[in-house]
Amino acid sequence: MPNITTFTFVFIGGALGSLLRWGLGSAIYERYTGKFPLGTFVINVTGAFVMGLLSTLMGVDWRDRFGSFFTAFVLTGLLGGYTTFSSYELDTVTAYNKRERGIALLYWVGSVAAGLLAAALGWWIAIQIS
Amino acid sequence: MLKNMFLVMLGGGIGAVVREALIMVVPQLPGGSEAPIFVANMTAALLIGLTAGLAVKDGIIGPAGKLFIATGIMGGLSTFSSFVWGADKMLADPSLRLRGLLFVAASMIFGFLLVQSGLWIGQRLISRSN
C-alpha cells in the first residue's frame, strides 16, 4: 500500500478515534464527578482490550503497525487515536499536584496494570474463539 | 459543538499521522518496536504539560486551543493501547522480559516527569509574559 494511502487511513482513523475518546470522556465526566480520572481510565483499558483482541484475531505482529488497511486504519489510527498516553500522565500529574497523592498513585499504577491485563484478556479471548 | 468536534478530529488526525511517521523513521531496536511508541508518548507528554501550563486562566492558550492541541494532537500522537499491548508481548517473551519491564517503568516515570517539566516551562513563560 502506498505511503499516501496509509497516511490517509491513519489520519481518518486518528480523527474518528479521537472524536470517540472526546465524546465518551465528556459523557462519563457529565455523570461522574469523583476525583479519580475515570473517563481516561475507561477509554485506555477498553482500547487496550480491543487492541489485544483484534491484533490476535487478525494475526498482526505487534511490531507491524503500517502497510495495510487494518493496521493503518484500525490499529494505528482508530485505537491509537482513541487511547491516550499523554492525558493519562497529565491526569496523574494533576492529581499529584493537587496533593491527591493516593488517587495519583492508584491511577498511575492502576491504569497500566488494568491495561496490561485487558490487552492480555483480549488476546486470551481471541485464542479461544479462533 | 460542531467546531469543537472539528478541532478534536483535525488534531487527532494530525497527531496520529505524526505517530505513524515516527514509526517509520525512528530506528527499531532488534526484536521489538517499542522505540517509536516511546518517542511518540514522551514527546506528547512534554507537550501536553506545556499546553496545560500555557492554558491556565489568562494564559495564552484558550479552551479551543487546548481542545485542538491537548485533546486532539497530543491524544492522537500518544497511544496507550500500543504501549500496553507491546509491553504484554515483551513480558510474555523470556528474551524480552527485562526490556519490557524497563519499557513500562521508563514510560511511566519519564512520562510523569516530562508532563511536570512541560507544566513548569509553561507556567514560567506565562509569568514572564504577564
The string of DSSP letters for chain B reads -HHHHHHHHHHHHHHHHHHHHHHHHSPPPTT--HHHHHHHHHHHHHHHHHHHHHTSTT-SS-HHHHIIIIIIIIHHH--SHHHHHHHHHHHHSTTTHHHHHHHHHHHHHHHHHHHHHHHHHHHHHHHHH-
**CA–CA separation, A6 vs B3, rounded Å?**
27
- Model pLDDT, residue A67: 64
Q: What is the ipTM of this complex?
A: 0.95
Cβ neighbour number for residue A59 with a 10 Å cutoff = 9
pLDDT over 80 at B23, yes or no:
yes
Longest Cα–Cα distance in chain B? 54
What cell does B2 get?
460542531
pTM as predicted:
0.95
pLDDT tens digits, residue range B39-56? Answer: 999 999 999 999 999 998
- Model pLDDT, residue A65: 54
Min CA distance, A72 vs chain B (Å)?
8
A89 contacts B111? CB cut-off 8 A: yes
Q: What is the mean pLDDT of residues A54-66?
A: 78
**CA–CA separation, A63 vs A118, rounded Å?**
19
CB-nearest partner of A81 from B75, B108, B112: B75
CB-nearest partner of A44 from B80, B87, B107: B80
Q: Which residues of chain A does B12 touch, with a Cβ-Cβ cutoff of 8 Å? A: 14-19, 21, 81
pLDDT tens digits, residue range A1-34? Answer: 678 999 999 999 999 999 999 999 999 999 999 9
- Model pLDDT, residue A1: 65
Which chain A residue is nearest to residue B72, measuring alpha carbons? A18
pLDDT band at residue B121, thresholds of 50, 70 and 90? very high
- Model pLDDT, residue A66: 56
pLDDT tens digits, residue range A75-93? Answer: 999 999 999 999 999 999 9
- Model pLDDT, residue A56: 95
pLDDT tens digits, residue range A40-56? Answer: 999 999 999 999 999 99
pLDDT tens digits, residue range A101-126? Answer: 999 999 999 999 999 999 999 999 99
pLDDT over 70 at B36, yes or no:
yes
pLDDT band at residue B57, thresholds of 50, 70 and 90? confident
pLDDT over 70 at A64, yes or no:
no
For residues A78 and A13, the answer to whether their CB atoms sit within 8 Å is yes
Q: What is the mean pLDDT of residues B11-33?
A: 90
